[in-house]
Chains A and B, each alone.
Chain A
């Protein structure tokens, strides 16, 4: 079974530029998460999708961050414009829908550096 795929693995941009990350979850997983992991901290949930609908985006900075999952499969997370404090690893995860006791599977993440 293929895991959660993320690209790119690394990205360096200047502040005020735009950037997009892509995630392809495990086949059949209806729930998809984007997390932001700042160095030395635990992952912080940015947005959670169930199929193509948003379940929770309460911690997504909506003035600069956006995410979509148009066909209920893969997803993109965009930052526009980026700030220095956006430097972090962005993790995508997926799980089967329906219950809260299922395992979330994580991709390797995209390390973003804003200079």
Chain B
């Protein structure tokens, strides 16, 4: 069965600093990869997704992620964070040809002024 691991439960960072949120997955078959963001008291919103093609994927709000098949990783990055990026970030996968969306445990990004 596939699984998603987010190694960092919390990431504190100062405003305008770069940030990387780590995500690793395990699956014996091809997967599609997603990053979702959850702002306080709101539902989840899609940041970006990797389906195929270029391994570097750009999303909303200046975020990007790189798919690394050999390391089974899909780390999320932003070169310069803003206070408004403070939120919970979830990595998720679906198996090829299924609609079953499996989430990691989440990483809380806290941006300080």
Where the two chains meet, the residues of A that have a C-beta atom closer than 8 Å to any C-beta of B are 4, 31, 33, 35, 40-45, 48, 50, 55-56, 91, 93, 95, 97, 99-104, 106-109
Closest chain A residue, CB of each to CB of B46: A103
B69 contacts chain A at the CB level, 8 A cutoff: no
Q: How many pairs of A and B residues are in contact by the CB < 8 Å rule? A: 64
Q: A100 with B43: in contact, given A41-B106, A42-B104, A42-B105 (CB under 8 Å)?
A: no
Residues of A within 8 A of B105 (CB): 40-42
17 A-B pairs within 8 Å (CB atoms) are namely A42-B103, A42-B104, A42-B106, A43-B44, A43-B103, A45-B100, A45-B101, A95-B99, A100-B32, A100-B94, A100-B97, A100-B99, A101-B49, A104-B46, A104-B101, A106-B45, A108-B42
Count the B residues whose beta carbon is within 8 Å of the partner chain — how many?
A: 28
Other CB < 8 Å A-B pairs besides A35-B103, A45-B102, 5 of them?
Answer: A40-B106, A44-B103, A93-B101, A101-B32, A103-B46
B37-77 residues with Cβ-Cβ distance < 8 A to A are: 41-46, 49, 51
Residue from A4, A91, A101, A106 within 8 A of B94 (CB atoms): A101
Where the two chains meet, the residues of B that have a C-beta atom closer than 8 Å to any C-beta of A are 4, 6, 9, 32, 34, 36, 41-46, 49, 51, 90, 94-106
Pairwise interchain contact A48-B100, C-beta atoms closer than 8 A: yes
Max chain B Cβ within 10 angstroms of own Cβ: one of A33, A101, A108: A101
